[in-house]
Structure 1
């Protein structure tokens, strides 16, 4: 993935700090403190156990460095890189105690975020040749939304809303409580500024026709079959951004993309993607600090 901007350290530092404190508990790393001499240095590498797309190296680096700034982590394959099984993506060298204390926290972030990037890349690859963009949702791990959405970008995807405060998305429950599509859109439009976009979720072509009469910026075409989706895109005819959603996989994504829809939103990228298996492998030590 090219042009991937890293997240500022101020955004990721609290996440890494909290994870390290959770792991170290009240007494630190009892195992490492008991077994590993204070003056022992270690040379290790982060290597892939399976092919995939990398994300989360900055969080891994910060985990090691927060335990001991003497730890040096040299990245060989940057976030967004597609890697083969058995590939070395970074070298980690420094005080052995610090390396071992931070190992699990670093790998938890790296494996989880690389799993999201890998899953995203698989769907992005499936729709290559079509204009549809793959986007994530707000179905994220509490507290990890910023880094999980970063991982989606690392995999070549795009981001949907980051939260409730950056756009209006009128869903089925909003419509039901408001008393219909018209009052929901009209109230939304009267309540926000000119820079806030309005998207409305529809389940049927009849609902879509009603929504289009009120000129929303985008329509979420939820759980439609491919042929119905094709008809919906034709009805919209460029008057609004079209988004398809609902149990879309790499196998089914090409058919959805072929309808001409603008966006395909995939919730499981962040809530259910399996990890990418990455390990920390010990190479050697040089004895003294």
Structure 2
């Protein structure tokens, strides 16, 4: 799966965006961190140790970190279900993540660095990174302030029976965001957060025990929005294409998910 995602990430950029005017390749400004994790068992630890040795010759700088959760695990030892907040918190704070950011910054500590959060069930990147480049450009031209958080959302593959519902759900989010950008849920399968100048990770935390171990995106955004010049953009540009998890379903009203616009608790703030 790591090999597939590393090969597929170039599809996040349109052909004209893959090379800059100075012939620098766009993938030189991209780094990928994989957080391989699961509920702790001795067998899983052995599997993860083997995965950590994965090597692949590609054009993207990447790193793999492995960790377990639950009794005996690396993190969230008391968890019985996936502790999504802890999983993302551990990943963003890991030294491997920080090292990748430092390498990207190079000699320019104020270069724009975004963390793009995607999940392993990604099917197609669908030019989302070209879309984000355009969003940042347009916002910068408006007021010299880049987006702090941004998303184009997700849809299921057109061949999936829930595709139309996922499209409609995203259109509702887009319409609500035009009224106020934080009226909608910025989905974990595809959202970006700006890293502060000179820093090598996002300072704000994903963890808020009042929300259990879910809702990582709104937890983080509720803290990120206190930054000076905060700006959120939820765009109707091309979304990421993901596989539909089994927990997703339909009702007479529309798509039913943990972050559906049918639910009143899905505000970003």
User: TM-score when scaled to structure 1?
Assistant: 0.23
Larger helix percent: 1
Question: Relative contact order, CA 8 A, sep 6+: which one is greater?
Answer: 1
Larger Rg: 1
